[in-house]
Amino acid sequence: MRPLLLTRLSICLYSANSSIFPSESLAASSVTQRKEEYSRMANAKTVMFQGTSSNVGKSVLAAAFCRIFYQDGYKVAPFKAQNMALNSFVTRDGLEMGRAQVVQAQAAGVEPDVIMNPILLKPTGHASSQVVVLGKAIGNLSAQEYHLRYNLTALQIVQDAFAKLNSENEIVVIEGAGSPAEVNLKDRDIVNMRVAKLAEAPVFLVADIDRGGALASIVGTLELLYPDERPYIKGIIINKFRGDLKLLQPALDFLEAKTGIPVLGVVPYYTEFSIPEEDSVVLEEHKSIPIPVAGQLDIAVLAIPRIANFTDFDPFAAEPDVNLRYVRTAEELGRPDLIILPGSKNTSEDLQYLWTTGLAEAVQKLAGSGIPIMGICGGYQMLGRRIHDPEQTESTRGSVPGLGLLPLETTFFAEKVTKQVQGRVCGHGFCLDDCPDEDLQGYEIHMGLTVLDEGLSPALVLQTEGQGHLDGAVAGNVMGTYLHGIYDNDRFRHHLLSWLWQRNGQEQRPVAAAYSVSAARERDFNQLADLVRSNLDMNKVRKIMGLVE
């Protein structure tokens, strides 16, 4: 990857006051001064979730607290200073932010805003990421470049974003990242303890007991905190517990005696509802079952290494007559009812992965036999003849052969498209014939321009701010589109499932038409809030936060 060149133009482009990247020494030393500034304008009470590691459930617990306080009548907003994730979202004003904070904003009943996640890192390789600042991509940086040269210079952005939320809300629910005890990163941290100090936020330390070693990870994390950091830890939460709580009680008593910090409660492992997860690490839990499940449609998503926005497929996972699985090898693929190529943060490299693993040939063969194939965003680009990257925006490969299932080619450019859109079906073939005539809602978030061969039918007409354009392509049993969130549109999804059932010689199953994404999301948020309320000492939580005397 080429290093990011921070030109004066790029600095000014994302600055509210042309000085968002102060010198490192200024950024590091200004926390106390700015904290005093913010305290004069602050309205909000705060609480922060930090974890003993990644994937312990911080994002979901933050969403739970956002919904709890929303139910209690507070004006509440989420905040995460720096997020590393490939699941992202485009706001109403065309800016990009982490999906986890979008979920938390929805739980809080507010419109997502990039100040809830001012810095977003989107990994492009094993040691590099695209850096998104206040919703705009500013380039790619290696891990070393980011941590040693850049992140502290972005501290003022974090401070100002928090200050705005702090002055406009009654409660701000803050999420940390990874662990606060990563000693190699602590001095340059802008998401964990530095934020806790800035916000004067009580911190609840979260541990995942399902993975084992929870007690050791809690004690070890506390031991590795600096002396001035440990007093911020005001409570411990045990998450994802399965079993008899009575058998766990001696361990909880030990923790409180050992650490002097109260255990606020134990949250059970739940399966009755679903909250969108932050990143693709959770896909490791999804096992591919190539054997068809009786009475269910078999939908296979290709689990490419840099899969992005896999939450696009959550509506299928919630459908009772759909078996959604993530496929990593040609052997796992089998003969599903629908194959989906998902979005990717590095389309060229993931396309090469498909060729290397034999998945590319397997998909080509199944497409030739009539199996429906659908590509979303990067997956749509992969369906074409070739992908060109002359400026090495994503990869050093330059040009990579596509699957050749649609007569089109894509060329990458540095500019990134991010916008919310509405759309309608305009193509023919695939499931689009007789598709419900209604607006589709979603968003575009991609790099690259795709050019269709003459005569190839586009799939959709998309519109934003009064400007319309053709999107995607369709040819027989193959369809591609740039529209993220297309499956969240209930009538389109139900029509697609009905079409798949009819291909199997069956009429649309009644249960398929009953599921609503928005209704299920509200139900799941409320169930999550109920679960957390009933398993944490919320009176103690409120006292710690200063909500009650």
What local confidence, expressed as pLDDT, does residue 202 receive?
Answer: 97
To the query of whether residue 388 is one of the catalytic residues in this protein, the response is no
- CA-wise closest residue to 297 among 516, 521, 486, 493: 493
User: What gap in Å lies between CA 14 and CA 9, rounded to an integer?
Assistant: 9
- CA-wise closest residue to 124 among 285, 308, 296, 306: 306
Break the chain into its structural domains and give their ranges: 27-274+526-545, 286-515
What local confidence, expressed as pLDDT, does residue 125 receive?
Answer: 66
What local confidence, expressed as pLDDT, does residue 84 receive?
Answer: 87
CATH superfamily of 27-274+526-545: P-loop containing nucleotide triphosphate hydrolases (3.40.50.300)
User: What gap in Å lies between CA 414 and CA 391, rounded to an integer?
Assistant: 8
Rounded to 5°, angle at Cα 447 from 443 and 143: 105
What local confidence, expressed as pLDDT, does residue 40 receive?
Answer: 46
User: Please, what's the b/e burial string for 503-513 (b: 16 or more CB within 10 A of its CB; e: otherwise)?
Assistant: beeeebbeebe
User: What gap in Å lies between CA 275 and CA 314, rounded to an integer?
Assistant: 9
What local confidence, expressed as pLDDT, does residue 416 receive?
Answer: 82
What local confidence, expressed as pLDDT, does residue 24 receive?
Answer: 41
The first and second tokens of residue 529, run together, are 């809030």
Low-confidence spans in the chain with pLDDT less than 50: 1-31, 38, 40-41, 280, 511-512
User: What gap in Å lies between CA 159 and CA 174, rounded to an integer?
Assistant: 13
DSSP calls for 379-419 = HHHHTSSEEE-TT-SS-S--EEE---SSSEEEEEEEEEEEE
To the query of whether residue 66 is one of the catalytic residues in this protein, the response is no
What local confidence, expressed as pLDDT, does residue 287 receive?
Answer: 52
Q: What is the pLDDT of residues 452-465, one digit of tens each?
A: 999 899 999 998 87
Domain with residues 286-515, CATH architecture: 3-Layer(aba) Sandwich (3.40)
Q: What share of residues in the chain are helix, strand, coil (percent, to 5)?
A: 40, 25, 35
User: What gap in Å lies between CA 14 and CA 473, rounded to an integer?
Assistant: 34
What local confidence, expressed as pLDDT, does residue 36 receive?
Answer: 54
Note the pTM of the prediction, 2 decimals.
0.79
Torsions phi, psi for 180 (to 5 deg): -75, -5
Beta-carbon count within 10 A of 281 CB:
11
List the catalytic residue out of 377, 435, 494, 495: 377
Strand partners, 46: 172
List the catalytic residue out of 446, 484, 494, 495: 484
The first and second tokens of residue 4, run together, are 């990011």
